[in-house]
Chains A and B, each alone.
Chain A
Amino acid sequence: GESVGLHLPTLSVQEGDNSIINCAYSNSASDYFIWYKQESGKGPQFIIDIRSNMDKRQGQRVTVLLNKTVKHLSLQIAATQPGDSAVYFCAENPLLRNNAGNMLTFGGGTRLMVKP
């Protein structure tokens, strides 16, 4: 199955609807946040990123919102398609300010299922 069979929260949406996937991050010092998509049997794929000096960033059909006050990140997918079915991870880089490397800390992931 997807990822390694983790028991993940699941979001089930109808094809064509908008999806919102949420993530709470842990490190208030993190400056950089990324959303990755992981399809079954594949590695994580970069979707979109955002710096802490922004609260919104838009890509193609995707929007990331950042609320630093409550340490919350969300990914909005417009007009969700069957090909969007995957596990979505948020990630933060806690070492950015220290310039001591480039490690990512990943959230637990959310499984998105798109019903045709």
Chain B
Amino acid sequence: DSGVTQTPKHLITATGQRVTLRCSPRSGDLSVYWYQQSLDQGLQFLIQYYNGEERAKGNILERFSAQQFPDLHSELNLSSLELGDSALYFCASSKRSVGTDTQYFGPGTRLTVL
């Protein structure tokens, strides 16, 4: 158990809908990262927040957004969902925002868009 928690574990929804994925980092970690793992793209970095502020951005679609709250938990919002958004979404956390910080991954949320 990495200490990173994600809810829900599974999510099934329809095209055009909006969902929110939630992540609680390990105790003491200030950085939260979101990754998408899909069949055709593998594991891809989406976005990083550090102590409430956006720190790095990957190939995150405009339909996706994230935020980190004062208690350091983070939410990833996915809107106008398409079939291709079906994937595993992982959250990771690390102590700081230094490149050599180990990122610890949560168990993931499996999103299925029908």
Residues of chain A touching chain B, judged by Cβ–Cβ distance below 8 Å, are 3-6, 31-32, 34, 36, 41-46, 49, 51, 89, 91, 93, 95-96, 99-109
Q: B45 is contacted by which of A4, A31, A41, A103 (Cβ under 8 Å)? A: A103
Q: Which residue of B lies closest to A7 (CB)?
A: B39
Set of chain B residues within 8 Å of A95, measured between Cβ atoms: 56, 99
CB contact under 8 A between A46 and B42, given known A102-B31, A102-B94? no
A102 touches B105 (CB 8 A): no
Q: A49 is contacted by which of B2, B87, B94, B100 (Cβ under 8 Å)? A: B100
With most chain B CB atoms within 10 A of its CB, the pick from A6, A34, A43, A45 is A43
Q: Which 4 A/B pairs are nearest by Cβ-Cβ distance?
A: A101-B56, A96-B99, A43-B105, A106-B43
Q: Which residue of A lies closest to B110 (CB)?
A: A4
A103 touches B88 (CB 8 A): no
Shortest Cβ gap from A54 to chain B (Å): 12
Q: B39 is contacted by which of A5, A45, A91 (Cβ under 8 Å)? A: A5
Q: Which residue of A lies closest to B46 (CB)?
A: A103
A43 touches B106 (CB 8 A): yes
